[in-house]
Structure 1
């Protein structure tokens, strides 16, 4: 986990006109992780109560400067740098703000490594039935994934005290979040969620075929390293072992293929598929998707796993290279999460 920004100094200088209210320097960085050789976007959020900002002076801490309002800069070496922005208003008042940033070593130009987790969080309850979002957040933070697919997530239900679980987990893990409803439940909603270290550029929710309980798939579009876009999907397929339930999962798999595995657009789908590796549902998905855990390690129940029902799969095969995949043993839920480390292969 990389902590990128924190303010280390701020000072202001009064202009000759004592009636002038000084400006306030402020800025942020668009990218979540910073790498040498990567374009880094600095976004100005400075303000002036009684006028306007007319000048910007950036010092990037590596002997390079800029007078643009929102500059883009490339660091040629890893390390810690102090970035300073000085702004000037139309009455010659100035303010400056400095922040430290950490620039990581350059990544392979042909690929980008990310970590994906899927975690059925059992509406916030541990394996012993105790509601504890701190325990779930601790599991996520301990393994530092870039994207997390969550299932069995409550939004404002009575049983969980009318809280927004996706928001709480996002805040506890310092990740962006979104929620997709499967059903209305106890004055609130119940469904899937996604946590992301990177920006969530768009989101949509798809109803899937089901027989026992309405199910859905939540999809986001997100950019890796600020430029490479992909789709990430969190889903939870229908339960049951009778023929009608099996048919519902097969039809859900067909819709997933039709909606998300198209036009060679890079995508990862993750979730609780409620079916075993030898099932027809998984066979249908394998027509389009490559599954990360080829050893089919069991994920459920968490206290003594005997069934593989939680999966991560990717499309198309040429855009992804599996580095590592493992089941994480925990009692924070009745499912064990699955963690994938994968290289995203860029296209020139």
Structure 2
């Protein structure tokens, strides 16, 4: 599952209007969605560890406590100190052991910086790699630069020998149809090594109260057989969560799991 949880503010457009009780109520809505659909892995975007605008609540810990998931990793790519501190980024929540995790901010801004994190998860006897990203919302050119840095990472560690290509999930801040934007360009530029498909293909995820654009995707490489993909109707964030069901075929056995990306 991929879910941009909008810092726990729900459908509101402005972060500063919420007290701690309303933040916790929104987090309970998010936890309810996760409990209902029970994804093996959740990838969050816009999730705070300790920020003034959501009363220094550790959002990941709160959701983890409410869902009883055993494993988690927080990838911070925004940190600001001082009178109004901020500390937020992406995160993983998992039923299965997270063997390793690395975080890569795209830049050095203290507010509004995007980034990605990569985790290796052990599911039974199989290890899978997942990249959880959040791309820039303002500029197509910036998004292209950001996917280039992700592709460089993938080519260096995965695609050069076509072993264990990672799932890619998150908030792309662009649709899938624009040839010159991030989703299509990622698939085109990685195609010489491995073929990716995007999911869901005909769903809108933003804004949640009246979705008009698909911004949130899971990109699955060729070893993965996607069985189903959909956006989940909800009002816990300004984005809808995206859930995919897939099978991964290995030489020894077929591993079936469900990955949900929440943005």
Q: TM-score, normalization: structure 2?
A: 0.80
How many residue pairs get aligned? The number is 225
Gaps of at least 5 residues in structure 2 are 14-21, 253-263
Query: What is the aligned partner in structure 2 of residue 303 from structure 1?
Result: 209
Residue 128 of structure 1 and its aligned partner are, at CA, apart by: 4.3
Residue of structure 2 aligned with 1:282, choices 183, 205, 214: 183
Residue 169 of structure 1 and its aligned partner are, at CA, apart by: 1.2
Aligned 1:138-287 pairs, distance under 5 A: 138-175=32-69, 176-185=71-80, 186-208=84-106, 213-225=112-124, 227-240=125-138, 245-260=139-154, 262=159, 263=161, 264-279=163-178, 280=180, 281-287=182-188
Residues 292 and 325 in structure 1, CA contact (< 8 A), matched pair in contact too: no
Gaps of at least 5 residues in structure 1 are 1-116
With 265-274 and 289-298 compared, the bigger mean Cα shift is at 289-298
With CA pairs under 8 Å and 6+ residues apart, which has the higher RCO, 1 or 2?
A: 2
Residues 90 and 133 in structure 2, CA contact (< 8 A), matched pair in contact too: yes
Residue 321 of structure 1 and its aligned partner are, at CA, apart by: 0.2
Query: What is the aligned partner in structure 2 of residue 321 from structure 1?
Result: 225
1:32-86 deviation line (CA, Å, top 9, x unaligned): xxxxxxxxxxxxxxxxxxxxxxxxxxxxxxxxxxxxxxxxxxxxxxxxxxxxxxx
Give the strand-richer structure, 1 or 2. 1
Residue 276 of structure 1 and its aligned partner are, at CA, apart by: 1.2
Supply the distance in 2 between the matched residues of 1:321 and 1:255 (Cα, whole angstroms).
Answer: 26
Residue 209 of structure 1 and its aligned partner are, at CA, apart by: 5.9
Residue 210 of structure 1 and its aligned partner are, at CA, apart by: 9.2
Query: What is the aligned partner in structure 2 of residue 124 from structure 1?
Result: 8
Q: Tell me, what secondary structure is at the counterpart of 2:251?
A: coil
Q: Tell me, what secondary structure is at the counterpart of 2:48?
A: strand
Q: TM-score, normalization: structure 1?
A: 0.61
Q: Tell me, what secondary structure is at the counterpart of 1:286?
A: helix
Cα RMSD for the two superposed structures: 1.9
Higher radius of gyration, 1 or 2? 1
Give the helix-richer structure, 1 or 2. 2
